[in-house]
Structures are given as structure tokens and as C-alpha cells.
Structure 1
């Protein structure tokens, strides 16, 4: 009888030691697209989840559901991204494995598309155009911007020439 009580106590204590985790290890995150290019993105996919589309130089909100993401970031976290960036009327699908930037809190998944098929993925609660978003929003170049010219020291000669050219035309106070 003494051994039976000891066995029962040991069983109860071992059950407490194997408590389940406190919360889920993964969650379903909404997907947002931020396009830093001059090309339209017709469609995207992250893993097996659709991610929507994006106009040129646009930062959208994360309104497409969902891609499964770990609650806690870990080294080596990558996602397979597919996107269709048409050339004229022809669809051009591309694919790339992309590392997810380190995040501390769960949030929405934002795909940032840059020139030369560079993609960055961030997890955040801030919408794509917010100043607090981890990557600044896209900036559409002005149509009449002169080409940038730099000297050997890396100084922008265009702005120096522009300021010298307009110095006489700016009224002094």
C-alpha cells in the first residue's frame, strides 16, 4: 500500500512537470504589399497564401489573410515569395526565398518590393506608409528631377549647380 501511494504521488507530480505551453507557437498574419518600384505588381503569394497587388510606388495596408508565422522570430526564418510583375501585357511570374527581418512582437507581414527583384519582409503592426513602419514608405521620383551627378568626393554636383543657378533669382529679404 505504501508503494501504491508513492507511485500515485510520483505520477501526479510528473503530470505537472509536463504542462502544455502557455500560448500558441504560430498565428495567422495578414499580408500587406509595399511597392518601391515603377512597375505594377499584379499578384503575390507568400508560401501558399495570396498577398494581393500593388500600384507603382504604393504602400498598402495588410488586408489579405493569412500566412502562418511563428509568434517568436528565430534565426533562419524565411518565406517563399512569388509575384507577377507584368511586362506590357505579358505576365512575368518570379519566385524567391526571402529572409524575414527580426521582430519582437507578432504583427502583419509586409512584403517590400524594390528594384532588381530585391524583397524584404517585415512583421509589424504599423501600416506600410506609417512613419513608425520599419522600412520608410516608397518615394515616387518627380518627373522633372534632373539626373543626379556626383563628384569624386561623393558630393551631389547637381544640387550645387542648381543652388548656384537659382541664387540670383531668389528674392532676398
Structure 2
């Protein structure tokens, strides 16, 4: 009898836990459906020969991007409106290394030579731009495209490059002009 009581008690507790889990999910989904903003991972696509050492979208950080790389890693989290609104913009800030393959001296054990690193880093440039976010029907990842001449584009579309409805389908290896028009 005691054995039955213990196993019956665990069965009741399992059912109770299941009910609480379902109730919690319903409450969370009800709250989320009323939310006007959604969290969105941030990722980048670098279409240039420079390295993007770091970047952010509205303060949400992105990783570093080598030349002609991107899309693989996502950093959490920015926010986007559940429904696109006219005039939606993003502030993008980034640091660029124009010579990512430049040689930096190293010490006996492989550590960077501080003075040589400072020489190399003196050529980094920092940028800030406010850009429009084009219309989307389904929100998704905040995707930043770094283009030649220090141009950027941002989308929050729930699709990816190369798929229908994606607003920016640039080649990863874009030709960079000798001079840029500003």
C-alpha cells in the first residue's frame, strides 16, 4: 500500500507540473502576443575587403567580420517592432580595419608587440550611420550589410539573403571603387 501511495503521489505531482508548465506557456504567449517589440539576434555581412572589428545596431553588439564574410554567427539581442512602421530606422556603429592582413610583430611566445599593434590600429576608422529599415511582414534577425564606401544597410526581414522577399542580395565579394562619392 505504501509503495502505491508513493508512486501515485509522484504521478499526481507529474500531472500538476505538466499543468503548471502548460499554464505558464499560455500566459507567456499571451503576454508576448501583446508586446509591440520583439528581441532579435544581430548578425552581419561584410561585402568588403576590410575587416569589421566590431559593430552595433541601436546599441546591440555584433561580432567581428573578416573580409567578405558573414551570416554565420548571431549575437543577442536587439529589438524590432512586431509590425513594421514607416520611418523605422537603425543606428549602426562600427570599427573598420582597412588592412586586416597587415603584419603585426609578435614576441618570442606569440604575443602581439604592443607598439606595433598601436601602429596598425592607428589606421582603424570608426563610423556611425542612421539607416532606414525596409518594410517587413514577418520580423526576424537584425541583419547588417557592410558595403564599399562605408555604406550600410539593415533589415529585420524574417528571411535570409538569396530568398524571396529579402531586400538586399549583394554579392559577398563586391568590387570596391577607387574613389567614393559622398
TM-score by length of 2: 0.59
Structure 2 unaligned residues grouped into runs of 5+? 1-30, 100-119, 176-182
- Higher Cα Rg: structure 1 or 2? 1
**Deviation for aligned residue 1:78:** 0.7
Q: Distance in 1 between matches of 2:66 and 2:42?
A: 16
Q: How many residues align?
A: 122
* Selected match of 1:112 from 120, 126, 145: 145
RMSD: 2.4
2:51–2:97 contact (8 Å) kept in structure 1: yes
Q: Distance in 1 between matches of 2:125 and 2:67?
A: 16
Q: Distance in 1 between matches of 2:36 and 2:158?
A: 18
**Deviation for aligned residue 1:62:** 5.4
2:63–2:73 contact (8 Å) kept in structure 1: no
Higher RCO (C-alpha 8 Å, min separation 6): 2
Q: Distance in 2 between matches of 1:74 and 1:62?
A: 27
1:33–1:51 contact (8 Å) kept in structure 2: yes
Structure 1 unaligned residues grouped into runs of 5+? 1-19, 143-173
| Greater percentage in helix | 2
Equivalent residue number for residue 37 of structure 2: 26
1:37 aligns with 2:48: yes
